[in-house]
Structure 1
Amino acid sequence: MQSETIGNATLETWTVEEVAEAWAKNEIVLIDVRTPQEYMFEHIEGALLLPMPFFNADKLPGQSDKRIVFHCGSGVRSDKIARAAIEGGLTQIAHMEGGFGAWKAAKKPYIGTNMATGAPSRVEG
């Protein structure tokens, strides 16, 4: 995990392995900031959708029980959202390095679209 101090806040960049481990232990809330279309086509099972255009740092839950980790397709949008969350007053926030593309490259499970039926289906990676 890499961390960057911004004022009195800490922005963490987690690897896919760190996110997957914390996710499996239910230690984090994983928030997908991609578009609804991207999410519908494929997403990490259980991740919440909060598209970047609708982001409002004031509406985020506290992190007393679970850390918030953002992710997007490549890590660019989630980094921007994490920085916006810090600007909104959060003092510790994280995002996943490499985004969903890195998650798939690491062969982690996700929900994809069965192209034959159009139905969602679990992909084991």
Structure 2
Amino acid sequence: MMESEKTENGVLEHWTPEEVSKAFDNDEIILIDVRTPQEFSFERIGGALLAPMQAFQPGHMPGQSDKRIVFHCGSGVRSSKVAGMCLAHGMDRIAHMKGGFGAWKDAGLTYTGTDMSSGAPKDMKKEG
């Protein structure tokens, strides 16, 4: 069962990479990466949308009537800040991925990286 935290503005859910991966594979969520465009272009979760924290505006987010929104960043710090901004803007419930992209890779989940020899994107998985 996923963790949730009551904040002064609403409920912040902390999803594990496994929970995010399962819901994303089932097309139940919109996954939004709040890292920088540079980080995103180097490696990312395939199919995630990019909304960098430095330019983030909660009022421009889609509603959650069709699919839940889950934010992620590199470690979980920026995504929890962005989620907090959404709650402060009036959303009553929002989610982010605990541990961020680092935790996603540590869990052995597939991501899109860069083939260093050609510069082309390629599916990758952390060995280990």
TM-score (norm 2): 0.94
Q: Which residue of 2 aligns with 1:20?
A: 21
Give 5+ residue unaligned stretches, structure 1.
none
What is the percent sequence identity of the aligned residues? 58
Equivalent residues, number: 125
Inter-partner Cα distance in structure 1 for 2:122 and 2:17: 21
Aligned match of 2:71: 70
Paired with 1:18 and 1:120, the residues of 2 have a C-alpha distance of: 25
For structure 2, the residue ranges without an aligned partner over 5 or more in a row are none
Return the alpha-carbon distance in structure 1 between the equivalents of residues 106 and 45 of structure 2.
13
- Aligned alpha-carbon RMSD (Å): 1.0
SS in 2 for 1:115: coil
Offset at residue 9 of structure 1 (A): 1.6
Matching residue of 1:50: 51
Whole-Å separation in 2 of the counterparts to 1:64 and 1:8: 19
Partner of 2:12: 11
Q: Per-residue displacement from partner, 1:52-75 (whole Å, max 9, x unpaired)?
A: 011101111110110000000000
Q: Structure 2: how far apart are the matches of 1:8 and 1:77?
A: 18
- Residue 6 of structure 2 aligns to which amino acid in structure 1? T
Q: Report how far residue 124 of structure 1 moved.
A: 3.7
Task: Report what 2:94 is aligned to.
Answer: 93
Deviations 1:79-108 (A, max 9, x none): 000001101111110000000000001110
